[in-house]
């Protein structure tokens, strides 16, 4: 049998191209070839994450893959919980890293705007990386702990010993499922996933998934109980985003569409749709901007665009860059990707004042774009105070 390292390397190469099909297959083969449970979990997490990019994926596919993932924890014994301490409800947030990221824009308020009279909040960080966002979290929460140098079991023991009532997993199957490795030991009485991840984890140690009824209404195959709030998201723009919106230099130009999502989300069906849209709007163009700086992904997308029969002179393809916020001055309408919608990029476009066209699918991750538009139309997308209050009310109900 081929060594799992070969498949892992292939997965990385397909990622560099933006080839979702190839990456998913490589991660699947890596998990099958490996014999060490710890590494199998990581490969299988990568595989589950890659499934989101594939238009043929179904709710059953995700559920079945999640069930296999859970079986990989057959050797993990849950910790013995300590008696609950009287007083405030202790919510422990566990993240692959507390640094500036797309997920941070959705969970920041949960760690900075909570009711300190009723709740005690701690942050548990699995990374050594730090930036200004890390400092903000450290200063906002009641306790911050870096557990990057501990084993997953030791990290779980530390969370258990801290007296956590609720463990909130912000990672899910991102970063190889690191946070799930800790949650598997069940260090808290109640364990929740959501916000930083967008689908069932499959892990039996996760009790609830935080979402809303619009997102979860059409997909019932969650291994977790659905913990529904009015709106599953609230977006906190960074200071950089606020400045960029204030300084946008809107240009008089021909009509332009935009797609600023990860190129892995761009399917052949999406490109076919772009071709039809451009055909009906002869003077229009479209701007594609990736979320990574890889030239290989830019070149691969250009090949796919050409193969799809889209005139290259009507297309501009850019690699990811820190100054991408200025792109919004060049775009009149964002064409959201499907079936894997933009989350951060959709919310950011709305904040920057650019219209978004999106389509709701049947799966949780294919309804996020429409949900963000729905929340925005309700005037709630940037209402972090109300979002935090609703979420913590749910916390109080389930402890």
* Mean pLDDT estimate for the chain: 95
Task: Give the pLDDT confidence score for residue 216 in this predicted structure.
Answer: 85
Instruction: Name the CA dihedral angle for 148, 223, 346, 257, rounded to a multiple of 10 degrees.
Output: 120
Task: Give the pLDDT confidence score for residue 348 in this predicted structure.
Answer: 98
- The pair of structure tokens assigned to 283 is 């003077």
Task: Give the pLDDT confidence score for residue 197 in this predicted structure.
Answer: 94
- The pair of structure tokens assigned to 307 is 């193969």
The tens digit of pLDDT for each residue in 170-191 reads 999 999 999 999 999 999 999 9
Q: In this model, does residue 352 exceed pLDDT 70?
A: yes
Task: Give the pLDDT confidence score for residue 218 in this predicted structure.
Answer: 62
The tens digit of pLDDT for each residue in 316-349 reads 999 999 999 999 999 999 999 999 999 999 999 9
Q: In this model, does residue 251 exceed pLDDT 90?
A: no
**Residue 367 pLDDT grade (very low, low, confident, very high; cuts 50, 70, 90):** very high
For residues 289 and 323, what is the distance between their CA atoms, to the nearest angstrom? 11
The tens digit of pLDDT for each residue in 101-159 reads 999 999 999 999 999 999 999 999 999 999 999 999 999 999 999 999 999 999 999 99
**Residue 268 pLDDT grade (very low, low, confident, very high; cuts 50, 70, 90):** very high
Count how many residues are written for the chain: 399
Q: Which helix (H) or strand (E) holds 89?
A: strand 89-95
The tens digit of pLDDT for each residue in 35-68 reads 888 899 999 999 999 999 999 999 999 999 999 9
Q: In this model, does residue 2 exceed pLDDT 80?
A: no
Q: In this model, does residue 220 exceed pLDDT 70?
A: no
pTM of the model: 0.96
Q: In this model, does residue 233 exceed pLDDT 80?
A: yes
> Cα separations (Å) of 145 from 92, 93, 138, 141?
10, 10, 9, 10
**Residue 1 pLDDT grade (very low, low, confident, very high; cuts 50, 70, 90):** low
Task: Give the pLDDT confidence score for residue 85 in this predicted structure.
Answer: 83
Q: In this model, does residue 11 exceed pLDDT 90?
A: yes
Q: In this model, does residue 250 exceed pLDDT 90?
A: no
Task: Give the pLDDT confidence score for residue 249 in this predicted structure.
Answer: 85
The tens digit of pLDDT for each residue in 282-309 reads 999 999 999 999 999 999 999 999 999 9
SS3 state of residue 129? coil
**Quick one: 385 exposed, middle or buried, by C-beta within 10 A (0-12, 13-18, 19+)?**
exposed
């Amino acid at each position: 049998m081929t060594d799992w390292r070969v498949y892992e390397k292939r997965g990385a190469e397909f990622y560099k191209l933006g080839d979702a099909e190839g990456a998913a297959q490589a991660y699947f083969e890596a998990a099958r070839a490996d014999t060490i449970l710890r590494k199998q979990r990581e490969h299988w997490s990568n595989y589950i994450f890659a499934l989101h990019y594939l238009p043929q994926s179904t709710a059953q596919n995700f559920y079945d893959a999640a069930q296999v993932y859970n079986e990989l924890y057959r050797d993990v014994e849950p910790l013995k919980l300590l008696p609950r301490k009287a007083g405030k409800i202790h919510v422990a947030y566990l993240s692959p890293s507390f640094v500036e990221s797309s997920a941070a824009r959705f969970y920041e308020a949960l760690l900075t705007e909570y009711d300190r009279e009723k709740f005690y909040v701690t942050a548990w960080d699995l990374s050594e990386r730090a930036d200004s966002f890390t400092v903000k979290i450290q200063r906002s929460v009641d306790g911050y702990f870096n557990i990057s140098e501990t084993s997953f079991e030791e990290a779980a023991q530390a969370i258990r010993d801290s007296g956590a009532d609720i463990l909130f997993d912000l990672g899910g199957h991102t970063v190889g499922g690191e946070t799930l490795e800790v949650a598997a030991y069940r260090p808290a009485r109640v364990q929740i996933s959501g916000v930083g991840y967008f689908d069932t984890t499959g892990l039996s140690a996760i009790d609830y998934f935080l979402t809303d009824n619009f997102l979860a209404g059409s997909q019932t195959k969650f291994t977790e109980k659905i913990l529904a709030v009015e709106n599953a998201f609230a977006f906190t723009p960074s200071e950089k985003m606020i400045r960029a919106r204030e300084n946008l230099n809107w240009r008089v130009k021909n009509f332009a569409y935009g797609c600023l999502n990860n190129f892995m989300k761009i399917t052949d069906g999406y490109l076919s749709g772009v071709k039809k849209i451009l055909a009906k709007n002869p003077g229009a163009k479209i701007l594609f901007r990736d979320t990574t700086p890889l030239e290989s992904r830019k070149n691969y997308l250009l090949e796919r665009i050409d193969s799809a029969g889209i005139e290259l002179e009507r297309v501009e393809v850019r690699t990811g860059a820190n100054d991408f916020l200025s792109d919004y001055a060049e775009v009149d309408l964002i064409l959201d990707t499907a079936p894997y919608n933009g989350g951060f990029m959709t919310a950011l476009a709305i904040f920057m004042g650019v219209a978004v066209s999106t389509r709701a699918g049947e799966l949780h991750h294919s309804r996020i774009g429409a949900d963000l538009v729905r929340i925005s139309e309700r005037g709630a997308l940037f209402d972090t105070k109300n979002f935090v209050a609703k979420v913590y009310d749910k916390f109080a109900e389930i402890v």
